[in-house]
Amino acid sequence: MELKWLKDLLALDSTGNFRLAAERRCVSQPAFSRRIQALEAWAGAALIDRSVQPSQLTEAGRLFLPVAQEVVDLAVSGLKDIQTLAFEDKMRMRFSTLSTLAQIFMPSWLKSLQPLIDANMFVVKTEYITTEDHFAALEGNDVDFFVSYEDPHIGFQGDATLFASIKLGEESLVPVAGPDGQGNPRWWLPDKPEGPVPCLHTLSRHSPWPIRRHMENRYGDLTFKSVYQTSLATTLKAMAIEGFGLAWMPSAFVADDLANGRLVRAAEPVDDIAVDIRIYRCSKHNEHRVDKFWQVLLAQEARLSDFTDNHSV
**Helix ranges (DSSP H) in 114-196:** 131-139
Q: CB–CB of 266/187 below 8 Å?
A: yes
Q: CB–CB of 8/33 below 8 Å?
A: no
Statement to judge: residues 223 and 302 lie in one domain: yes
Which among 76, 78, 44 has a CA at the least distance from the CA of 60? 44
* Residue 311 clears pLDDT 70, i.e. is over it: no
Statement to judge: residues 189 and 149 lie in one domain: yes
Which of 77-86, 158-167, 177-186, 218-227 has the least mean pLDDT? Answer: 77-86
Statement to judge: residues 155 and 29 lie in one domain: no
pLDDT tens per residue across span 142-176: 999 999 988 888 888 788 899 999 999 999 999 99
Q: Would you state the pLDDT for residue 63? A: 93
Type of residue at 245: G
Statement to judge: residues 61 and 10 lie in one domain: yes
Which residue range(s) make up the domain with 43?
A: 3-89
3-state helix, strand, coil in the chain (%, to 5): 50, 20, 35
Statement to judge: residues 49 and 153 lie in one domain: no
Instruction: Tell me the pLDDT of the chain averaged across its residues.
Output: 86
Statement to judge: residues 47 and 105 lie in one domain: no
The domain tally of the chain equals 2
* Residue 103 clears pLDDT 60, i.e. is over it: yes
Boundary of a domain, candidates 72, 89, 106: 89
Statement to judge: residues 137 and 168 lie in one domain: yes
Q: CB–CB of 141/129 below 8 Å?
A: no
Q: Would you state the pLDDT for residue 313? A: 45
Statement to judge: residues 66 and 116 lie in one domain: no
Statement to judge: residues 68 and 124 lie in one domain: no
Reduced to 3 states (helix: H, G, I; strand: E, B; else coil), residue 234 is helix
What are the backbone angles phi and psi of residue 246, rounded to the nearest 5°? -100, 160
CATH no. for residue 188? 3.40.190.290
Mean pLDDT of 277-287: 91
Q: CB–CB of 285/135 below 8 Å?
A: no
pLDDT band for position 57 (50/70/90)?
very high
Which among 86, 85, 83, 107 has a CA at the least distance from the CA of 95? 107
Statement to judge: residues 85 and 178 lie in one domain: no
Statement to judge: residues 212 and 118 lie in one domain: yes
CATH no. for residue 42? 1.10.10.10
Boundary of a domain, candidates 89, 124, 147: 89
d(CA 210, CA 202): 11
Q: Would you state the pLDDT for residue 305? A: 62
